[in-house]
Amino acid sequence: MEQPASAYFMEERHDPNETHTLTVLVANEPGVLARVIGLFSGRGYNIESLTVSETESHKHVSRITIVTTGTPMVITQIKHQLDRMIPVHRVVDMTLTGRSIERELAMVKLRGTGEHRVEALRLAEAFRARVIDATIESFVFEITGNTGKINQFIDLMRPLGLVEVSRTGVAAISRGPEGM
């Protein structure tokens, strides 16, 4: 009788992965972020981006925006698992509503002189990035936009003397007059 290599063989699912942006409204209390993050690590879900801040201080409500990837079945699970946590008020799948705006902010530091410096400034202008710090051999640009635009800008900066990048992660809001 042939033995399997491991008794822990799991059948893999091969549904294609999707990327979704979830907005989670939570009670702003100690440990709530740890609960959310622990859920993701404990159940093996991905976090591509995560932003958190209190948004309605009088109601003690914080808003967490999570970008995650997974099969449609996993994405649904993530939403249900989040929703059943006691301090979670609401979970909205911004990707499914199809009417959301996503933005993030990045600060991009460059070091260089001469032609590279001029080129970087030109590109920054094209991307509507602002200079928020400068020395004779460096710049820090501030850029906002969706993830794709920021990725593109960083890629362009790389050969021009990119030193480091700090990004906020994605924040999302729905279009139109209605709130969540």
**DSSP three-state, residue 27:** strand
User: What does the per-residue mask of binding to other proteins show for 78-117, with x meaning CB under 8 A?
Assistant: --xx-xxxxxxx----------------------------
Q: Which of 8, 148, 176, 178 binds other proteins (CB under 8 A)?
A: 8
Instruction: Name the residue with tokens 């914080």.
Output: 62
Q: What one-character DSSP code corresponds to residue 2?
A: P
Tell me: does residue 175 bind other proteins (CB under 8 A). Answer: no
Q: Which of 16, 31, 148, 176 binds other proteins (CB under 8 A)?
A: 31
Residue 78: Cβ within 10 Å count: 22
Phi/psi for 179 (5° steps) reads -90, -175
- Distance, CA of 54 to CA of 119 (rounded, Å): 39
CB nearer to other proteins: give 62 or 147: 62
- Show Cβ contacts of residue 37 under 8 Å, excluding neighbours closer than 6 positions: 47, 50
Listed residue (79, 82, 85, 129) closest to 109, CA to CA: 129
CB nearer to other proteins: give 79 or 117: 79
Q: How many CA atoms lie within 13 A of 87 on its CB side?
A: 17
CB nearer to other proteins: give 74 or 129: 74
Q: Shortest Cβ distance from residue 76 to other proteins (Å)?
A: 6
Q: Shortest Cβ distance from residue 22 to other proteins (Å)?
A: 14
User: What does the per-residue mask of binding to other proteins show for 48-77, with x meaning CB under 8 A?
Assistant: -------------------------x--xx
Q: Are strands 162-167 and 130-135 parallel, antiparallel or unpaired?
A: unpaired
Binding residues vs other proteins (CB under 8 A):
1-4, 7-11, 26-27, 30-31, 34-35, 38, 42, 73, 76-77, 80-81, 83-89
